Structure 1
Amino acid sequence: MAKAAKTGIEARAIQRTTRQSPYKMRLVIDQIRGQRVNDALALLKFSKKHAAEQIGKTLNSAVANAEQAARAANLSLDVDTLVITKAIVNEGPKLKRWTPAAMGRATPMLKRTSHVEIVVTEAVR
């Protein structure tokens, strides 16, 4: 979903039900919030966290959506001017599984998932 604002192009990308807990994803997303897209992609590329790969895919999708919106609106867009204005991680559905416990019992396991949303906007020149 993208729109042309007064300040420029704004585009977003959402990745749903990523198989990683929101707590671990937020550790990475907090590092890139408010940064320029090129700086954020460089940080994600060299991060050791597994969440960085998933967030990088979502960020690349948001950039592609911005380029497509600019092309559709017949505007020029420089990817170097894009800034991450909104980056949030929400909790997705929990997968409920069971694991064996002592004396023939079973203990529940919650495998958490995440929804990642990234919004990029063209910075004011």
Structure 2
Amino acid sequence: MQIKASLKNIRMAPRKVRLTANLIKGMSAPRAKAQLAFLVKKPASLILKLVNSAIANAKHNFDIEANNLFVKAITVEAGATLKRWMPRAMGRASAIRKRTCSVILVLDELAPGSGKKKAAPEIDILKADEVLPEIKERETTKELPAKTLKPPGPAPARPHGASSKSKEKNFSRQTFGNIKKMFRRKSI
């Protein structure tokens, strides 16, 4: 029985997380936990939480003990990359890529068949004769009230009149040439 757990949008480069992830591939669950607990790398604590979560999933959902589990597969996939800029000399900027990743962990049983199986949900089959009278009753009882629509009122008055001359009076726009004349770097 395979048990899956995933960790998404980790703000670490996938290359760095893969170093820790590949370390526990194929290990038993208790041994992987011990390995990650004493590993001095930043992703180790996150992957340890993921392993604990997968073990809890196995125990709660399938009644499988942690000693009977091993890491079948662990994959680290690249996520979205946040793009940022770093200022450099002479007015340039260089790109910074802040990478993210997601980890998918698959645990499997050492001795298969020890856990409980998922019970298939029972499906009730209804006949058309049973359902149709209920639908007809609902349709007859629902009557939608007629909505009255109000006629639209007069349009609101324009704030500065309707003519273009009133706009010129209230709005003074400077052109790009006027700004250049006012803010010169060097005096003539």
- Give unmatched runs, 5+ long, in structure 2: 113-188
Contact 1:38 1:80 in 2 (8 A): yes
1: distance between equivalents of 2:82 and 2:52?
27
Over the residues paired in the alignment, what is the CA RMSD in angstroms? Answer: 1.1
2:80 is paired with a residue whose SS is coil
Q: Specify which structure has the bigger relative contact order, considering alpha-carbon pairs within 8 angstroms and separated by 6 or more residues.
A: 1
Please report how far the alpha carbon of residue 77 of structure 1 lies from its aligned counterpart in structure 2 after TM superposition: 2.0
Alignment correspondent of 2:53: 61
Which 4+ residue blocks in structure 1 deviate beyond 3 angstroms? Answer: none
Q: Give deviations 1:90-109, integer Å, cap 9, x for gaps.
A: 10100111110111111110
Alignment correspondent of 1:89: 76
2: distance between equivalents of 1:107 and 1:45?
38
1:25 to 2:12 alignment: no
Greater radius of gyration (CA): 2
TM-score, structure 1 normalization: 0.85
1:4-19 to structure 2, matched below 5 A, reads: 9-19=1-11
1:36 to 2:28 alignment: yes
TM-score, structure 2 normalization: 0.57
- Give unmatched runs, 5+ long, in structure 1: 1-8, 71-75
Q: Report the number of matched residues.
A: 112
1:117 to 2:104 alignment: yes
2: distance between equivalents of 1:16 and 1:77?
25
2:40 is paired with a residue whose SS is coil
